[in-house]
Structures are given as C-alpha cells and as structure tokens.
C-alpha cells in the first residue's frame, strides 16, 4: 500500500494515525503476509486486529441500540445488531470508504477479485476499527463506527434481504411479483460486473454488482424506495 493510498483513506475517514503502522497492519491480508514472509522475515496479517475490532464494533453498536432503541427487548436488539455487523453490511460500509483500493493482497487474491470480496472487505473494515482503537482509544473508534456504520443503519436494513421485502411490498400494492433480468455482463472473468433490472408493474430499476445476487439486491432496494415514495404521494 503506497503512501498516497494510505493518505487518501485517512482523509476519507477523517482520522490521522499517530502510528501509521497500525493502519498498514489493518490493511494487510493473510495472502500478502504469506507471500512476502520468508526465512526469518515474518510479516503479520490483520487477523488479530480484526478480532479486536470486532469486539469494539459490537460494544459500540450495542451501546447505540441500548440508548436509541428503547422499544426493543434483548432478543430484538441482538437480531438487529447481528444484521448491522454481518458480512454483507460491513462490505457495503467498506466500499463506501473505498477500502478495497488500499488493501495489501497476495497476487492470487488480487487477481481473483479479492478487493471486492465481502469476506475480505468486512474483515479489513473491522481491522481498521481495531487499529483506530489501538492508536487513539475508544472515542475515535466510536466516532468512526457511528459515522460509517450506524449512520447508514436504515440503508443497511433496507439492503438486507431487499428482495424479500420487495416481494411483500409488490404483492400488497400491485398483486404481482417483481421480475428480474440480466441486462449485461462486463469485465474479465475474475472481476465480472453484472447489471440486473428489477420490474414491478410499470416501474423498472437497474443496478450493477459484483454478482447477479448482489445486483438484484441493489435494484430491489432501489425499487423499494420508489414504491415507498408512491405510498407517500
């Protein structure tokens, strides 16, 4: 990871590391560490930092839900927290800050689309939380989570299983089911982008994703917003 990528990321998240090595570690995937480690030289990956960041994320999210969702019992809060900190949701948060561009990946992972893989992005995102916690303590880590995770709570909930939500809404409003179609498929095999359409009655939305399923969820989420807007008219 070059200095410019690290600087851009710090500017995006609004936090400058006193010890930049924490950030470098957070962005070092195990594939890179294994590739460059040899002999007596061992490069650490972000897995331990991810463990720490996951704990900080759960704490901050739990605190937020406790303070803001007094209508929920323990079980409901647990379910909502799980939806917020799940891999697809954190993958979305990671893409919002262009985290994939900054990762240190092994050549194999890089060539097979690792920079867009939810599992890698979500782990790195949690590692960044852990890095901020080690570098500056709980307060800046809390601020990061609030800005880049919890502020997107409504969007994350909308995205989560948007196809199921849209199915219910479409049946209620138009007595029909949504239909999906592949519009186009572009890019090399390891980085193919799929553009899908979603149609309900006379309305059609189009979205692009790294898989057909992801693109369908995206256009379903867009369609939900359209239909909800109709209800308000």
Phi, psi torsion values for 197, nearest 5 degrees: -110, 150
Q: What's the chain's Rg over C-alpha atoms?
A: 20
DSSP letter assigned to residue 40: T
What are the catalytic residues? 54, 126
- Interatomic CA distance for residues 41 and 98, integer angstroms: 30
Q: What token pair was written down for 149?
A: 């995770």
What distances in angstroms separate CA 100 from CA 41, 72, 177, 202, one per listed residue?
26, 35, 35, 37
DSSP bridge pairs for 179: 199
> What is the spatial order of strands in the sheet that 193-200 belongs to?
179-186, 193-200, 203-209
Residue given tokens 């609030």 in the structure block: 146
Q: What angle do CA 213, 77, 231 make, to 5 degrees?
A: 60
132 with 138: CB under 8 angstroms?
A: no
């Amino acid at each position: 990871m070059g200095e410019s990528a690290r600087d851009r990321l710090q500017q995006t998240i609004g936090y400058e590391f006193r010890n930049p090595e924490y950030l470098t570690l957070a962005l070092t995937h195990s594939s890179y560490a294994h590739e460059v480690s040899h002999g007596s030289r061992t490069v650490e990956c972000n897995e331990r930092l991810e463990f720490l960041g996951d704990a900080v994320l759960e704490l901050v999210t739990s605190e937020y839900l406790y303070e803001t969702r007094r209508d929920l019992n323990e079980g409901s809060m647990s379910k909502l927290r799980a939806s917020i900190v799940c891999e697809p949701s954190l993958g979305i948060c990671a893409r919002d800050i262009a985290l994939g561009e900054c990762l240190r990946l092994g050549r194999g992972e890089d060539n097979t689309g690792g920079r867009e893989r939810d599992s890698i992005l979500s782990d790195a995102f949690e590692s960044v939380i852990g890095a901020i916690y080690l570098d500056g303590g709980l307060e800046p880590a809390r601020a990061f989570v609030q800005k880049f995770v919890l502020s997107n709570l409504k969007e994350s909930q909308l995205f989560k299983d948007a196809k199921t939500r849209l199915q219910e809404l479409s049946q209620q409003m138009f007595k029909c089911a949504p239909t999906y179609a592949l519009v186009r498929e572009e890019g090399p095999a390891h980085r193919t982008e799929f553009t899908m359409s979603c149609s309900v009655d006379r309305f059609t939305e189009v979205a692009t994703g790294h898989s057909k399923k992801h693109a369908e969820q995206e256009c379903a989420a867009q369609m939900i917003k359209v239909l909800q807007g109709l209800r308000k008219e």
